[in-house]
Amino acid sequence: MTKKTALTLWTIIVSVALLVGCKPTPTASPTPQAPEAKLEIVSDEQRVTLTWEDIQALPAYEGVGGRISSVGHVTPPATFKGVTLEDLCGLVGGITEENSVSVVAKDGYAMTFSYEDITTGGFPTYDPSTGAESPFDGKLWVVVAYEEEGAFIPADGDGPLRLAILGSQKLVTDGHWWIKWVEKIEIKQSLENWTLHLEGALSEDMDRGTFETGAAPGCHGTSWTDADGQTWTGIPLWLLVGRVDDDNAHEDGAFNDNLAAAGYEVKVTAADGYSVSFNSPDVARNDDILVAYLLDDEPLPEDYWPLRLVGPGIGKPVGNITTIEVVLP
């Protein structure tokens, strides 16, 4: 071997050794940073504000649940961990049959749970593979969740705190209960449950929770201020008609414009049997005929409760509404 060859081999060996020595040392993945979150809980007597650390220190419940949207889209069941709504209410004195509980998100969206909802968990359940109703005999828990599948719920997603309906089986519940971005829990005097019967090509008994979801900001909620300065909030009549006018209850185009143009009658009936009727072309996509459930942001007074037909597009308002019927040819 010549001196030149030996020198070249030595140079290669030294270069390789230096490269190996400069190889970066693997580092452990950083521990996920705990989110910043606060949860306010309010009753007539007390008010507490929990930090993220406070929430983590409370007894936890872990269960399985998924949700189905109003248009039938299923979010498959996953494992969530959090604190039950019943335990959280206990921090400010607890709840009785005379109470209801409002859970409020940072964007103002809110849902109200009855005492029975929270303590017995009798929510309708559905098969996650078909979306068909599938009754469940076990208890379902209303939970303010902070983990999904073992990880924090991202604040830029549905977290850091979100409401979940959980149990021991892989079933789904109505999505309007699954409030994201939860920031406040408020214990109030109980609100009586009610249903609105919709009748047409389909039939539906719409409960208070479903109606309130549709009337929420960012969904179908509409407001109208009358000549006395009172603000009525609810859902335009035509959107409710669209749920039962044909076999498309929830998907895009649920309101059938062609059917409305051809003509049918929309009949709105009160608890005492009084009713008013409209021709479908007058109802079609008309936001000025409103089925209201709030007056100045409060539930309707007894004379009108639970729903009242109002708006500049009608003659005499109709209170105590129980039924909306699409009278098809």
Q: Are strands 141-148 and 151-152 parallel, antiparallel or unpaired?
A: antiparallel
Mean pLDDT over each residue of the chain, to the nearest integer: 87
Q: Tell me the per-residue pLDDT of 297-322, one tens digit each, with 9 for 90 and over.
A: 888 999 999 999 999 978 788 999 99
pLDDT given at position 183: 96
Q: How many CB atoms lie within 10 A of CB 322?
A: 16
Maximum mean pLDDT: which of 18-22, 58-62, 117-121, 218-222: 58-62
Q: How far is CA 327 from CA 10, 11, 248, 252, 259, in A?
A: 96, 94, 17, 22, 12
Please say if the pLDDT value at position 65 is more than 50: yes
Residue type, 316: K
pLDDT of residue 293: 95
Helix, strand or coil, per DSSP, at residue 22 = coil
Quickly state the pLDDT bin for 233 (edges 50, 70, 90).
very high
Residue 32 pLDDT class (50, 70, 90 cuts): low
Give the β-pairing of 172-174 and 61-68: parallel
Comparing CA positions, the residue from 176, 262, 162 lying closest to residue 213 is 176
**Could you tell me the pLDDT band of residue 132, with boundaries at 50, 70 and 90?**
confident
C-alpha–C-alpha distance, residues 6 and 23, integer Å: 26
Residue 292 C-alpha from the chain's centroid:
19
- Domains plus CATH for the chain? 38-189 (3.90.420.10), 195-327 (3.90.420.10)
pLDDT attached to residue 187: 95
pLDDT tens per residue across span 273-299: 999 999 999 999 999 999 999 999 888
Dihedral over Cα of 215, 174, 202, 318: its sign: negative
Where residue 7 falls among pLDDT bands split at 50, 70, 90? very low
Which positions ≥6 away from 69 have C-beta within 8 Å?
A: 75, 175, 250
Q: Which residue has the higher pLDDT, 325 or 113?
A: 325
Q: Which helix (H) or strand (E) holds 103?
A: strand 99-105
Q: Which segment of 12-16, 110-114, 235-239, 252-256 scores lowest on mean pLDDT? A: 12-16
Percentage of residues of the chain with pLDDT beyond 90: 61
Q: 27: which DSSP letter? A: -
The whole model's pTM is what? 0.68
